[in-house]
Structure 1
Amino acid sequence: MDKESKLEEEILASFERGEWQSVPNLKAEIARFASIASASLVKDKRVNIRISSRDLEDIQAKAAEEAIPYQTLMASVLHKFVTGRLVEPSPSLTSRSSGTRQKRRTP
């Protein structure tokens, strides 16, 4: 059984056990969460930084893999760092070892 099917079965079982409750004032809750989301997404400052062209190329490649603009990726990484949610992968999972880069494949 795949992950999605298992999750759907767990949700259905939870619903059937009566563990789900309606939100009393749904419109107010939606408005509250929309306000919180829009306030956290406001980008009202501009920053200029200098980074190596190699790092920028790597960031742009990673952003392309994720199908997002590279500046959005950079902002997301910085946000995760300052909020303490940036988690470093274990050394066995990274493509770089000992701080050195692997050779790039040329097309």
Structure 2
Amino acid sequence: MRSVEMDKENKLEEEILASFERGEWQPVAKNKSEIARFAAMASASLAKDKRVNIRISSRDLDDIQAKAAEEAIPYQTLMSSVLHKYVTGRLVEPQASLTPRSSGTRQKRRAP
């Protein structure tokens, strides 16, 4: 099952592509210093220059690996993406009543 956020991102990408194909995009003047500044910003934000080791339950890791397989991405990439979205405030919890869980996923554990 794809997340609601992924569906929104895909819809946005489709809208941008359709807009481009309609010729609604215009080139901007090429300013080498501005291009270099944006390239440096992109490189800095995408750089993975630190290694982290964490302990995680085997059950959670199995679920993460299964979700990553559904998305066809490496599980470490999925974990990094989730952490990045969390720290940037873009990770949104789905409404419990609006997003039924499939039978193949684990239900939340209840306190005894």
Shorter-chain TM band: 0.5 to 0.7
* Aligned-partner Cα distance in 2 for 1:29–1:85: 27
Q: Which runs of 5+ in 2 are unaligned?
A: 1-10
Cα drift, residue 34 of structure 1: 2.3
Map 1:11-26 → 2, pairs under 5 A: 12=22, 15=24, 20-25=25-30
Deviates more, 1:63-72 or 1:92-101: 92-101
Quick check: 1:99 aligned with 2:105? no
Quick check: 1:63 aligned with 2:72? no
Q: Which has the higher contact order (CA 8 A, sep 6+)?
A: 2
1:51 aligned residue (31, 47, 56): 56
Question: Which stretches of structure 1, 4 residues or longer, exceed 4 Å deviation after superposition?
Answer: 26-29
Corresponding residue SS for 2:69:
helix
1:59-83 superposed Cα distances (whole Å, 9 cap, x missing partner): 0011111111101110110011011
Quick check: 1:41 aligned with 2:43? no
* Aligned-partner Cα distance in 1 for 2:83–2:76: 11
Corresponding residue SS for 1:50:
coil
Corresponding residue SS for 1:8:
helix
Give me the TM-score of the superposition, normalised by structure 1: 0.67
Query: Residues 28 and 11 of structure 1: is their aligned pair in 2 closer, same or farther, counting only changes over 3 Å?
Result: farther
Q: CA RMSD in A?
A: 3.1
Query: Residues 26 and 83 of structure 1: is their aligned pair in 2 closer, same or farther, counting only changes over 3 Å?
Result: same
* Structure-1 residue corresponding to 2:4: none
* Structure-1 residue corresponding to 2:18: 8
